[in-house]
Structure 1
């Protein structure tokens, strides 16, 4: 059946975007990933297809109208797919959440625009707000593509080597270890001897140690998550 993603957006031509290429592109060709981009503007009832209005209480910008977006959402099949709203005020996306989403039948993704979305449709349609980082984009479309990229890599049969998705950054709340390949010497630097030893235990120990060092230096917050999980057991 494949993973079915319905994207509600004002710019459907932005999809599938870069997902047409590489592993994701092959997944789309095989039917492992199905992307349906739906124009929210089609659900506006006035002759101008108005989708936004001024914010109640005043202020800059415009707000995506609840009635128009609600009609777009309600036109979708009544299934159990999570309904996500790409929003800078949402929970920050994690690899664990990506893995949870990839194990389901699909997702509904609402791409916000303007100053935001009327809160009543967020509450009434139980939209889960998701952020991809502490910065502002022009709209939810780039964030939605990022989310779908992360999900697609974990779909069955997409990655050639199943281990590729297991020993990567964030999978174990650690940053990934350094990588090397031939030539053995490059600009006076050698590949670490342990990686050429053929001793899998020594190699695994070296990689774990390097991951710990990198995480401690660059993302100590990830180590806090590990400790929190240990405390909960």
Structure 2
């Protein structure tokens, strides 16, 4: 199992009693998410130029805004097992480099939770990578939070030790509880990520818009 050696990240003693309690509070048939769930929730977009991740209610996915071409309104998502699902861009924010996709149907994977807050410098992170590229997940670290010229609306971009490649843009970085904390943005070896704090609430708001929202033209923040 790909995530077997990563189980400590979800319920390790180093994360404290609070995390252990959260893990123990889950239903017996649904353990804490692991890196296999991250890999399953990670998708490639269209012709494979970027990646994304299914989050929250399973009807929405996040990706990087710079992955959205100017005339894009629809996109095809490909999952780890080769299945495909279409969706509509309903929110695109170039300043934060984030975009939200409303899926035509609920994805048949375990969606990932979006963390409410920023990770802290020194915190361990996991990068599972694209689902169409073989390789082991990377254990990375958040080196610092800071400004990035290509993220003008982000006061605290994530500068990490992950080793990315072109095409990884929009792929998720997760914390020890497998919650999405960032999306690959770029930089040297794709080590910079845009934070996703607050996007869980945004997805919830968009979800409450229902089918009518999904049929609208893409929403542009800039």
Which TM-score band applies after superposition, normalised by the shorter structure? Answer: under 0.3
Q: Which structure would you say has the larger Rg?
A: 1
Higher relative contact order (CA 8 A, sep 6+): 2
TM-score where L is the length of structure 1: 0.27
Structure with bigger strand share is: 2
TM-score where L is the length of structure 2: 0.28
